[in-house]
Structure 1
Amino acid sequence: MAPRANWKGFLRLSLVTCPIALFPATSESEKISFNQINRKTGHRIRYLKVDADTGEEVSSDDIIKGYKVDTDSYLEVSKDELDNIALESTRTIEIDEFVPRSEIDDLYLVRPYYIVPDGKVGHDAYAVIRETIRSLDKVALARVVLTNREHVIALEARDKGLMGMLLRYPYEVRDPAEYFDDIQDVKITKDMLDLAKHIVEQKSGHFEPEKFEDHYEAALTELLNAKQKGMPVKAAKKQAPSNVVDLMDALKKSIAGGTRTPARAAPKPSKAAKKAPIKKRKAG
């Protein structure tokens, strides 16, 4: 089944407009997930919305939004008030400018989306916008409203389509000086740097994401398969990291150990293991 679009609207470059749809470019739904269950009954846990002071359950009709101004005071904000300030760009991604991709700090990157034509019309206009972006070797900065908030999105050509990357606002990016200022200035000798570079050369390769192994996911799969079959669960062997006493000695030992045969990668999770291993027991 094809995924559902997160957003549908229009992409506009000056007077050129076409209908489009946004789809998440990544997904975590394939990962193993767990439900919370009642140990005594085997039933799933359901969370209730309760008043923090009285402990009584509150119906959805009686729940409104509030902005905390101090310990016990909130500014109530109604749905109508929020609708009154809704942005006009709710259904249009308006391209504002073009900038070099290299100028966008990775700290500002949030989430990628695939942007495709919506329906049979508008493919010509879509292609014009896509090829314009591609020919400039830049990304297009635009605005899009998702979940009632306006976001900046960077558009770039990707294969036959467009990829949009949501960007953070400056106030969402923390100042690195708050974290890095206390790091000590240490003088590294040339011999140490040469040894470290040699280790890097031993481990150098190319970016091949298909070689990535999610070892925890594989361990979860093995655990669930064993439990389904009623087999004992083996505890994973964990090796505690050793304290570095002599940095130069550690670098030399790293080089000596760099030629060893790498450990066998953990097996990839099987499709069968993705099925929920826990079945609800009937209330009796």
Structure 2
Amino acid sequence: MAPRANWKGFLRLSLVTCPVALYPATSESEKISFNQLNRTTGHRIKYVKVDADIGEEVPNEDIVKGYEFEKGQYIEVSKEEFEEIALESMRTIEIDEFVDKADIDPRYLIRPYYLRPDGKIGHDAFAVIRETIREINKVAIGRIVLTNREYIIAIEPMDKGLVGTLLRYPYEVRSEVEYFGDIQDVKITKDMLDLARHIVNQKAGTFAPEKFEDHYETALIDLINQKRAGKTIRPKDRPKGENVVDLVEALRLLPDRAAQPSEAAKPAKKPKKAAAGQKEMLMPIAGKKANAKQAPAKKPASGRQRKSA
């Protein structure tokens, strides 16, 4: 079942308009998530919204948003007042211009969304806009309002649909000068660059997301499974990161190492078939897909049973 649309409205290129729906292109739902518990009772922690002055819980219908213009003084803005802001981008993505994709600084990228026709009408107009963008090999730039904020959106074709990536405004991107200004100027010799380039050439490849595994997620699953099985958790040695070597000396030794048989010369291991969402590793955990080959966890004898490392 397709996820619920985050936004519905119209996509317009001059006189060509079509109804569209916007869907999130990424998901974090496959990752392990944790609840906060009371260490003493093992009960889940519940958060309530309380009045900061009188300490009483406030029902949702009595909560409004407010802008603090002075310490302790607020301008209240209701949901209806937010909706009354008459921005065209609340209902329509108007394509303002077309740019080269290389012109978009990666720091401005926020998150991607899928755009598709909404309903049975408008497919012809959608196809015209999609193929026009594809033919000129550029990215369409427009604006859209999501969660009471207006964003720049960069739109490009993908298969039969469109991908729209939200972009930041310039005031949201920090200047690199305050971070890079005191980096020392270092004179790099041609020999150092040649040797470094040798390393790069040995590791050259093509980006294939399916060959990467989320190692931290795997370690979390292993930890949870060990605790479910009642095993004692022993801390592992942490990598110290203190082995700082002289770059010039390391590069000088590189040709000698390359001449010897090494792990790099061996055929690479085939990636695990599982990388899509780490699902195969989630089998033993409650709420995830169970592994038929693995014995079910033993039920506690009675009452609430909590295990700790």
Fold shared per TM-score above 0.5: yes
User: For the Cα contact (< 8 Å) 2:221–2:282, is it kept in 1?
Assistant: no
The residue aligned with 2:291 is none
The residue aligned with 1:272 is 283
Shift of the 91–139 alpha-carbon distance from structure 1 to 2, 3 Å rule, reads: same
Shift of 1:217: 0.4
Encode CA deviations 1:204-229: one digit per residue, 9 max, x unaligned: 21111111121100101111121222
Q: Which moved more, 1:5-14 or 1:259-268?
A: 259-268
Encode CA deviations 1:121-159: one digit per residue, 9 max, x unaligned: 211111111000100101111111111222111110111
Q: Distance in 1 between matches of 2:245 and 2:263?
A: 26
The residue aligned with 1:135 is 135
Q: Secondary structure at the match of 1:102?
A: helix
Is 1:211 aligned to residue 211 of structure 2?
yes
Q: Distance in 2 between matches of 1:243 and 1:141?
A: 47
Is 1:229 aligned to residue 229 of structure 2?
yes
Identity in percent = 62
Q: How many corresponding residue pairs?
A: 283
The residue aligned with 1:19 is 19
Is 1:261 aligned to residue 272 of structure 2?
no
- Contiguous gaps of at least 5 residues in structure 1: none
Q: Secondary structure at the match of 1:270?
A: helix
Equivalent runs, 1:187-198 vs 2, <5 Å? 187-198=187-198
Q: Distance in 1 between matches of 2:192 and 2:52?
A: 58
Shift of 1:86: 4.2
Shift of 1:254: 6.0
Q: Distance in 2 between matches of 1:169 and 1:274?
A: 42
- Which structure exhibits the higher relative contact order, with contacts defined as CA atoms closer than 8 Å and separated by 6 or more residues? 1
Equivalent runs, 1:24-63 vs 2, <5 Å? 24-63=24-63
The residue aligned with 2:146 is 146
Encode CA deviations 1:63-105: one digit per residue, 9 max, x unaligned: 3322223433333334444333242332211111111111111
Is 1:105 aligned to residue 105 of structure 2?
yes
Give me the TM-score of the superposition, normalised by structure 2. 0.81
Q: Distance in 2 between matches of 1:256 and 1:126?
A: 59
Q: Which moved more, 1:37-46 or 1:68-77?
A: 68-77
Q: CA RMSD in A?
A: 2.9
Encode CA deviations 1:37-72: one digit per residue, 9 max, x unaligned: 122332211112223344333333443322223433
Shift of the 82–8 alpha-carbon distance from structure 1 to 2, 3 Å rule, reads: closer
Equivalent runs, 1:77-88 vs 2, <5 Å? 77-88=77-88
The residue aligned with 2:3 is 3
Q: Distance in 2 between matches of 1:183 and 1:201?
A: 27
Q: Distance in 2 between matches of 1:192 and 1:223?
A: 43
Q: Distance in 2 between matches of 1:90 and 1:282?
A: 53
Give me the TM-score of the superposition, normalised by structure 1. 0.88
